[in-house]
Amino acid sequence: MLGQITSALIAVVVAVAAAAAYFAGSNWLLDRLVGGASPARDRAVGRIRPWLFAAPALLFLAVYLVYPVYETLRLSFFGRNGETFVGLANYAWAFGDGEFLESIRNNIVWLIVVPTLSTVFGLVIAVLTDRIWWGNIAKSLIFMPMAISFVGASVIWKFVYDYRSAESTQIGLLNAIVTGLGGEPEAWITLPFWNNLFLMAILVWIQTGFAMVILAAALRGIPEDTIEAARIDGAGELRIFWRIMVPQITGTILVVWTTITIIVLKVFDIVLAMTNGQWDTEVLANLMFDWMFRGGGDFGRGSTVAVFIMIAVIPIMVWNIRRFRAERRD
Amino acid sequence: MAARRLTGGRIAVHLAVLALVVIWTLPTLGLFISSLRDKDLLAVSGWWTALSSVERRDFARTGTAADQVERDGRYVIAGNLLEGRQGWTISRFGTKVSAPGEFAAGNPAPLPGGGEITVERDGDYAWTSAEPFTQDRGRRILFVAEAPPHFTIANYVEVLTSEGIGQSFVNSLTVALPATVIPILIAAFAAYAFSWMRFPGREPLFAVVVGLLVVPLQMSLIPLLRLYNDVGTAFGTESKGYVGIWLAHTGFGLPLAIYLLRNYIGSLPREIIESARVDGANHYRIFTRVVLPLSIPALASFAIFQFLWVWNDLLVAMVFLGKSEGQIVLTSRLRELLGSRGDNWEILTASAFVSIVVPLIVFFSLQRYFVRGLLAGSVKGG
């Protein structure tokens, strides 16, 4: 075990040394071989150097993200081993497949519920904690789940949802509360449709902290005098919240919303760990992973499912790029 | 503010925040408390009862014939059933498994093998018989007792050794350390180029980076799996391994790294870079001597992000690492335990806590950098 850590540390040193050697070496070579002799050659150095700086990053991006996006698109038109062209057969299969349609349905519910609840909770908590002296401690605690892995969170919540038959003592918090109030215990995560909401609660629990931190920073950015002015005019706190605060941070709310939307589209760990798509809880990301390995792996169908996730992401991607460009023009 | 006094509205705010904090922390607290409880208690009572004493059923053995003494013409084996169980109080006891609480403590009970036994509340027992004892094995006495709250690290010892969590912890570190460090330098150079160097295609290329920020990993997995298999076959090596996952995490982490660092490096005062230019320094010197040291806070922010991301990742690990003891990381192991040991909450809770303790430490000790990174990554102009 110690040897393994040592080799990881050696890998760190070797990788950093290699990167440093590349950057130092290539820039030194550039100055030696091209630069110095004349203004024209100095300009050439100026043209080449940016590419030396960016090359490793661009190479990684090309190999690990750009090429795979193209390749996944291509594979979605091919059969299970990626060798026979099948045209639109995978897409036709998808729209006739019960599991796929169930995933689409569930993903839509996830997309509505999780970003909405996380953003609303985040905003409410950001506003409330701003007014109390122990607000930072409260925020820190609500933010904590952000550090916990989705699998870890799944264990935490599976324990909350734990079910024992009605005769035995409930050790899951939720069923203990339900039976304490006189209700019947339920096996929450096998309850079709509603179980989806119990899985979503886990992601809301994790993402609310994110929304809260970003929105709290935005709220602090609102000029104090606009709020003071409204107060002097006799506006109530709720009115100030809706009429002064929310309009001024709409942009940030959208950013939070879309960021969580992206996370929701990729949600995989929670579903895999909690139900693995059983009891009508399948989602696209888990279905994709499933097809990637099912029966030795069906790369065509797996890719097709991935393409659907990508299609859902594209509007947000375009919006992000446009926002970025608008910012650059400012 | 004038409203410093505790008005009804302010009390409501305090209570609302308190309720939210409780809802948000209780699940994790329950996991932590449970991981420290006896496993047989954990299975029969809720973790919120951990601090109250509980009724437990247990058994102990009496002494053997060797322990007998003769007293007033009768033979007696005496001792204490609660040895090693501090603070327990026996309420009832029994001699048959079918009736563990047949007799009240303090009352004599006949033993099927002969003689009678009396068990006191503090565990003292006396087994008397007119005939000499001959057993060379103690008899089993069952009892119902009030046990005080008890916490133990036995669950942790078990998962760290026999459930392989210890090995997985090392595997997770093996993945996370290089995967956190490798992207930093690569991204920093690229971020500088995107901020302060002029080259054709700079804006469109950076727009691509912004676009890649949101590309779902699912789009990358199948092609990379195929690519890794091909590379493995071509070089006759294993296609799943640490080098592969280090590089994969580097690739996947780079868009955010470049984006964050460009936001930071691009917002450094122009005068710093220009005055260095005037002094005749080239971009390589400016970057390594001036910009890189100034960027340490941003590098730290990204490093925390990347470390948490890699440590908590399940998807990439499941695709690019094998399931052997030497490769399975904590998240993968936890997911396997959820399947194979789904009812053994002592194992699940302790394992889960081991897996979340490192991110929690990183998070609470470096929260400031983490928040700064979050803000720079998502708020306009951050």
Q: Is the pLDDT of residue A151 over 90?
A: yes
Reply yes or no on whether the pLDDT at A66 is more than 70.
Answer: yes
* A11 interfacial to chain B (CB closer than 8 Å): yes
Interface confidence (ipTM) of the complex? 0.91
| CB-based contact A125 B20, cutoff 8 Å | yes
Q: Is residue A293 part of a domain?
A: yes
Q: Which contiguous run of DSSP H or E holds residue B59?
A: strand B54-61
pLDDT at A330: 67
Of A58, A81, A98, which residue constitutes the final position of a domain? A58
* B151/A119: higher pLDDT: A119
Distance from C-alpha of B343 to C-alpha of B348, rounded to nearest angstrom: 8
On whether both A233 and A304 belong to a single domain, the answer is yes
Query: Which residues of B fall within a CB distance of 8 Å from A143?
Result: 367
User: CA angle at residue A184 from A183 to A190, to 5 degrees?
Assistant: 130
Residue of chain A whose alpha carbon sits nearest to that of B217: A266
pLDDT of residue B273: 86
Low-confidence ranges of chain B (pLDDT < 50): 1-3, 379-382
Among the partner residues B13, B47, B207, nearest to A324 by beta-carbon distance: B207
- Tell me the whole-structure pTM to 2 decimals: 0.87
Q: In what order do the strands lie in the sheet with B108-110?
A: B69-71, B74-80, B124-129, B116-119, B108-110
Count of C-beta atoms within a 10 Å radius of residue B185: 20
Contacts of A298 (CB under 8 A, 6+ apart): A80, A291, A292
Is there a contact between B189 and A23 if contact means CB atoms under 8 Å apart?
A: yes
Q: Which residues of A touch B349 (CB under 8 A)?
A: 155, 159
pLDDT at A226: 86
pLDDT higher at B114 or A106: A106
User: What is the per-residue pLDDT for B378?
Assistant: 62
Please check whether residue A96 lies inside any domain of the structure: yes
Contact A125 B364 (CB under 8 A): no
Q: Of A143, A154, A144, A116, which Cα lies nearest the Cα of A286?
A: A154
The answer to whether residues A137 and A7 belong to one domain is no
Does residue A303 sit within a domain? yes
pLDDT attached to residue B2: 44
Average pLDDT for A169-180: 89
Residue at A243 is within a domain:
yes
Q: What share of chain A is helix, strand, coil (3-state, %, to 5)?
A: 80, 0, 20
A27 and A100 share one domain? no
Q: How far is CA B192 from CA A31, B247, B272, B300, B367, in A?
A: 19, 22, 13, 16, 26
Do residues A138 and A267 share a domain?
yes
pLDDT of amino acid B3: 47
Are A44 and A113 part of one and the same domain? no
Query: What's the domain range around A18?
Result: 2-58
Q: For residue A327, which residues of chain B lie inside 8 Å, CB to CB?
A: 380-381
User: Among A35-39, A55-59, A323-327, which is the least confidently predicted range?
Assistant: A35-39
B223 and A71 within 8 Å at the Cβ level: the answer is yes
pLDDT, one tens digit per residue, over A273-305 is 999 888 889 999 999 999 998 877 899 999 999
Q: Could you report the per-residue pLDDT of A225-264, keeping only the tens digit for each?
A: 888 888 888 888 888 888 888 988 998 999 899 999 999 9
Whether residues A47 and A193 share a domain: the answer is: no
Tokens of A287: 């279905």
Cα separation of the two ends of chain A:
53
Instruction: Judge whether A158 lies within some domain.
Output: no
Residue A64 domain flag: no
Contact criterion met (CB < 8 Å) for A61 and B209: yes
In a domain, A180, yes or no: no
Domains of chain B: 53-147 (no CATH), 157-375 (1.10.3720.10)
Instruction: Choose among A50, A1, A3, A8: nearest CA to B182.
Output: A8
- Indicate whether A318 belongs to any domain: yes
Do A6 and A146 lie in one domain? The reply is: no
**How far apart are the CA of A25 and the nearest CA of chain B, in angstroms?**
11
Give residue A317's pLDDT: 92
Give the model's pLDDT for residue A285. 93
Give the domain-ending residue among A18, A41, A58: A58
Q: How many domains would you assign to chain A?
A: 2
Can you tell me the distance from the alpha carbon of B353 to that of A256, in angstroms, rounded to the nearest whole number?
29
A154 touches chain B (CB under 8 A): yes
A328 interfacial to chain B (CB closer than 8 Å): yes
List CB contacts of A181: < 8 A, sequence separation 6 or more: none
Interchain CB distance below 8 Å, A15 and B246: yes
Which of A49, A142, A162 is closest, CB to CB, to B197?
A49
Distances (CA, A) of A323 to A210, A264, B192, B304: 21, 21, 21, 26
Whole-Å CA distances, A55 to A75, A249, B194: 28, 38, 12
Strands (E), B63-163: 69-71, 74-80, 89-94, 103-104, 108-110, 116-119, 124-129, 140-147
- Indicate if A271 and A320 belong to the same structural domain: yes
Query: So what's the pLDDT on residue A241?
Result: 87
State the DSSP code for B65.
Answer: G
Instruction: Provide the CATH number for the domain around residue A241.
Output: 1.10.3720.10
Cα separation, B100 vs B92, whole angstroms: 8
Q: Which pLDDT belongs to residue A236?
A: 83
Residue A8 and residue B177 in contact, taking contact as beta carbons nearer than 8 Å:
yes
Q: Do A50 and B380 touch (CB under 8 A)?
A: no
Asked if A223 and A319 sit in the same domain, the reply is yes
